[in-house]
């Protein structure tokens, strides 16, 4: 199994091809900024344990200029990796962007189902470079953040991506 960020440019029900390409580019810029090469293994920890090689679009100067804000690049890069991870690990895709307030980012479901067949929630967070304690703290915060929307009866997947290692902590609540 491999994580190819360029697949995001194919789109999903809640990800246009243009936005998917942007997510892939953001992930590429973040991984490149940490000195990683194509095929670097992403250590998946938490509820799942894998080492997945990651591939991404070639970096251009235009991409670097576009994604010059490190916080924004990290947020969108982590979103792209999280969405692809969930697709590879669980088989769910992003079917609808959540509105501000419910404590999560996307509704997840099966690609071939109706849009309103919401199966789970996804909450994403990104860290450009941080120690294990920073990742654990962020996971704990995100687990608390999705609690209020838990009355919807749907599981929540929390994905915290750290680009320095790189690693992704995936938890189910």
CA distances from 81 to 116, 139, 149 (A): 24, 16, 23
Please say if the pLDDT value at position 56 is more than 80: yes
| pLDDT score for 67 | 98
| pLDDT score for 113 | 59
pLDDT in tens, 112-152: 655 557 789 999 999 999 999 999 999 999 999 988 766 66
| pLDDT score for 112 | 65
pTM of the entire predicted model: 0.94
Q: Which two tokens stand for residue 21?
A: 């390409």
| pLDDT score for 154 | 87
Q: Which two tokens stand for residue 18?
A: 């243009």
Altogether, the residues listed in the chain come to a count of 173
Residue 114: count of CB within 10 angstroms of its CB: 10
At residue 62, φ and ψ (nearest 5 deg) are -65, -40
Give the 3-state DSSP-derived string for 125-140, with helices as H, strands as E and coil as C: EEECCCCHHHHHHHHH
pLDDT category at 78 given cuts 50, 70, 90 is: very high
Rg (CA), the chain: 15
pLDDT in tens, 85-102: 999 999 999 999 998 877
Please say if the pLDDT value at position 170 is more than 60: yes
31-64 in b/e burial notation, b at 16+ Cβ within 10 A? bbbeebeeebebebbbebebebebbbbeeeeebe
Residue 103: count of CB within 10 angstroms of its CB: 17
73, 30 contact by CB (below 8 A): yes
Using a 10 angstrom Cβ sphere, with 0-12 exposed, 13-18 middle and 19 or more buried, the burial of residue 18 is exposed
**Domain interval for residue 96:** 3-172
Residue indicated by tokens 């990742």: 135
Domains of the chain: total? 1
- The HSE-up count of residue 154 (CA atoms within 13 Å, CB side) is 20
């Amino acid at each position: 199994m491999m994580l190819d960020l360029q697949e995001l440019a194919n789109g999903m029900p809640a990800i246009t091809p243009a936005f998917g390409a942007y997510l892939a580019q953001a992930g590429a810029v973040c991984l490149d900024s940490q000195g990683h090469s194509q095929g670097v293994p992403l250590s998946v920890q938490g509820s799942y344990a894998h080492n997945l090689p990651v591939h991404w679009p070639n970096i251009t100067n235009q991409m670097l200029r576009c994604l010059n804000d490190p916080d924004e690049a990290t947020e969108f890069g982590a979103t792209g990796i999280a969405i692809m991870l969930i697709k590879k690990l669980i088989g769910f895709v992003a079917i609808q962007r959540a509105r501000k307030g419910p404590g999560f980012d996307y509704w997840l479901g099966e690609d071939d189902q109706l849009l309103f067949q919401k199966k789970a929630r996804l909450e994403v967070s990104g860290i450009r470079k941080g120690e294990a304690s920073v990742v654990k703290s962020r996971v704990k915060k995100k687990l608390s953040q999705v609690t209020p929307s838990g009355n919807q009866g749907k599981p929540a997947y929390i994905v915290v991506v750290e680009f320095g290692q790189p690693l992704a902590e995936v938890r189910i609540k």
